[in-house]
Structure 1
Amino acid sequence: MAELFSELFGVDIAGTGWALLVGAAMLAGWVDAVIGGGGLILIPVLMAVAPGLSPASVLATNKLAAVSGTASAAWALIRKIGVDVSLAVRFVPVAALCSGVGAVLAASLSKDVMRPAVIVLLLAAGTFVALRPQFGQQASPGAPRRKLLALLAVALIAFYDGIFGPGTGMFLIMAFTALLSEDLLRASALTKVVNTSTNLGALAMFIAGGHVLWLLGIVLALANVAGAQLGARTVLAGGTKFLRFALLTLVVVMSIYLSIQQFA
């Protein structure tokens, strides 16, 4: 049976490994739906239970799961919160294109160079939110909507997502809240739409390179969608205060995680 599964899914995973993978995919979907960063959970687990996989296959298969969960969370949040369609139409193609370009260039840029910069950005974002309790608590209709700056931010963050990725959802929420004067809840809904596009852009490059393990990815995608739906309900129930707490928690966890990777 184990040999049959290995041939069918293209990877050698023990029975307990499958249970761990499905659980990790569900948890990653929940985390991605709440604030982003699910890849920090699923990618290490996938590498641990299937050490024979190439890094490209791990990243590609994770992207298939992530795009499924994020898209389902986006749909759930849009139905309850709504989203500015004119902004979504403007941001989505830019996000997909820039993420795809980043994925193409990913192999040529050192992760050891990027991690310190990301850690600094994370700590700066966390400090800003911690010192401004009112940040993202409510929308500011009268404030100027800096759409061009927001579009530039989307392009840069999407490019970063294609190259490296950790914290993409959080950076998008911060950008939309600060530049478009949205509350954290509405910024989160728009983020899920744009983040789906960044995932699609990167996934397209992985598909073109033949790196996706489709059957494994579909199993993980189903689990990721289940977790994402729970995450979307958590966001709707918790509101902006919960999102602010989740954002600060992610800053701490990601800063520690990336620092360990950098200096271990």
Structure 2
Amino acid sequence: MDDISLITVALLCLAAASAGWIDAVVGGGGLLQLPALLVGFPHLPPAYLLGTNKAVSIVGTSAAAVTYVRRAPVDVGTAVRIGLAALGGSVLGAFFAAGVESAVLRPLIIVILLGVLAFVLLRPSFGTVAVARGPVTRRRVLAAILVAGLGIGFYDGLIGPGTGTFLVIALVAILHLDLVTASATTKIVNVCTNLGALAVFSYQGTVLWRLAALMAVFSLAGGTLGARMALKNGTGFVRTVLVVVVLALVTKLAYDQWLS
């Protein structure tokens, strides 16, 4: 912390607040927060950036989860089961994260974002209403545990950015939830994945704790505000934010990769 300029710290805190807000509304706040850390610490090993990102994210995600559970019709039992599977997947992914090179992160994130954008734009009715009525079948819950839990949980531990967005899409597709309920469920799952990955990064000593604690305060505020706005404005608002966020991030990352 002593070697970081005040301007860098201020920008990272702003990024944390914005990421917390985005993460609460539609997921994917790490796609803003992790690139901000990459810019702030261009020569730091990626494991430290990933670990610090998790330490910040878990605070904003937890705040959003509490807000959603209090106000939205969330099936907490199903969310926890998916979350426990995701925790295991994220722990496994985090063990492999030390081998990820920073030069690989940005192009990989761009490709992932373009896939998300294409999916959402080609499915205009995706997540606008809940298809399922009544209890969700065991087969769908099992599919959600395997795909959203183990699969996306592994990705979250390995790299992380976009996990919330992918979880929202997976839960809408598999469990037929609307976007607001899917976002609420995602927050509970995301807390588990962040916890698993953070435990590994903490054990490896790759977390900048003082910086993370400061950024977490802003992430907390952003996460709480974002959840309240999503609940108030509904699925149309969530979908619009998703498209705008993905477009902005693709543009920014592409510029950094090939034009800057």
The question of a shared fold, defined as TM-score above 0.5 by the shorter chain, is answered with yes
User: Which of residues 73, 83, 89 in structure 1 aligns to 2:80?
Assistant: 89
Tell me: CA distance 1:141–1:47, structure 2 relative to 1, closer, same or farther (3 Å): closer
Which one has the largest radius of gyration?
1
Q: Over the residues paired in the alignment, what is the CA RMSD in angstroms?
A: 2.6
Aligned to 1:196: 191
Q: CA deviation at 1:226?
A: 0.8
Task: Please report how far the alpha carbon of residue 116 of structure 1 lies from its aligned counterpart in structure 2 after TM superposition.
Answer: 6.4
Of 149, 172, 180 in structure 1, the residue corresponding to residue 143 of structure 2 is: 149
> Structure 1 residue 51: deviation in Å?
5.3
Matches within 5 A, 1:119-130: 119=110, 122-130=113-121
2:144 is aligned with what amino acid?
A
Give the structure-1-normalised TM-score.
0.85
User: Structure 1: which 5+ residue stretches go unaligned?
Assistant: 7-11
Q: Could you say which residue in structure 2 is the equivalent of 1:42?
A: 33
How has the CA–CA distance of structure 1 residues 14 and 173 changed in structure 2, closer, same or farther, with 3 Å as cutoff? same
1:100 maps onto 2:91 in alignment = yes
User: Which is worse superposed, 245-254 or 234-243?
Assistant: 245-254
TM-score (norm: length of structure 2): 0.86
What is the SS of the residue equivalent to 1:70? helix
Secondary structure of the 2:161 match is coil
Alignment of 1:132 with 2:119, yes or no, is no
Structure 1 stretch displaced more, 249-258 or 71-80: 249-258
Offset from partner CA, 1:185-242 (integer Å, 9 cap, x none): 1000001111111111111110000112222211111111011111112211221001
Compared with structure 1, are the counterparts of its residues 36 and 81 closer, same or farther at alpha carbon in structure 2 (3 Å cutoff)?
same
Q: Structure 2: how far apart are the matches of 1:194 and 1:32?
A: 13
| CA distance in 2: counterparts of 1:114 and 1:19, whole angstroms | 24
Q: In 2, Cα distance between the equivalents of 1:56 and 1:109?
A: 8
**Distance in 2 between residues matched to 1:186 and 1:83, nearest whole Å:** 6
Of all paired residues, the percent bearing the same amino acid is 46
Tell me if structure 2 keeps the 8 A contact 1:101–1:159: yes
Distance apart, 1:98 and its partner CA: 0.3
Letter of the structure 2 residue corresponding to residue 197 of structure 1: C
| Aligned counterpart, 2:235 | 240
Structure 2 CA distance, aligned partners of 1:164 and 1:240?
28
Q: Say if 1:112 and 1:262, in contact at 8 Å, map to a contact too.
A: no
SS class of match (2:98)? helix
Where does structure 2 lack aligned partners over 5 or more consecutive residues?
none
